Amino acid sequence: MDPAVDNILEEFQKSKMKKRVKSGAKGKGAEREIVKILNKRFEKLLAANESWGKFSRSVGSGNRWGQNVDLPKHAKDTFSGDLCVPQNFLWVLESKKGYNEEIDLCTLFGGTNATLDGFLKQVEDDSKRCDRKPMLIWKKDYKPRLAFVHRHDIVVAGYSCVLHYNGWTAVPFDEMLKSDDSFFFQF
């Protein structure tokens, strides 16, 4: 037994066992952040229309549709997507955070990214269930959020950066939030 080698192996094992943020906790935290951002952005509008409700996390959003559930229309409208949205809100929202290695925007130039495509399909499926427009909000660690919407649902003039990908358009989410209320709500 060589104490120096044993010490190196022990330190290596400790470094491999460092705590990682659990993806579920990371996802819930991202959802809470978006809820806070949206409730602040639409604070006056929602206060003037209290019956619409506010934004909140949708409990069990990640596992609901894998189960054999047959919800009525009003429940599908409420529980589709990661967030419960106010009445008259035009979008179903799917929130993702992280996936730093899985989603490399350079791979999009090849026309496909399995992880991103899966997220877009997920929000597309939610959109069909509740008859709202699909929006994926993705935040790579230490980077600003991006919003992916169908290309025909957005006018891109005025955005600092625009990415078109397989019928979807991505723009900075914080810039999207500067859009008129009519972009988000049906009046």
Split the chain (187 residues) into runs of 10 and give each run's mean pLDDT.
Answer: 60 54 67 97 97 87 50 56 92 91 81 92 94 96 96 96 96 98 97
pLDDT at 29: 85
Number of domains the chain is built from: 1
59 Cβ contact partners less than 8 Å away, ≥ 6 residues apart:
none
- Say if pTM beats, i.e. exceeds, 0.85: no
Please give the Cα distance from 159 to 156 (Å, whole number): 6
Please give the Cα distance from 137 to 3 (Å, whole number): 51
Q: Which domain holds residue 8?
A: 3-184
pLDDT at 67: 46
Nearest to 84 by CA among 27, 32, 29, 147: 32
pLDDT at 73: 55
- Per the DSSP assignment, residues forming a β-bridge with 136 are 94, 148
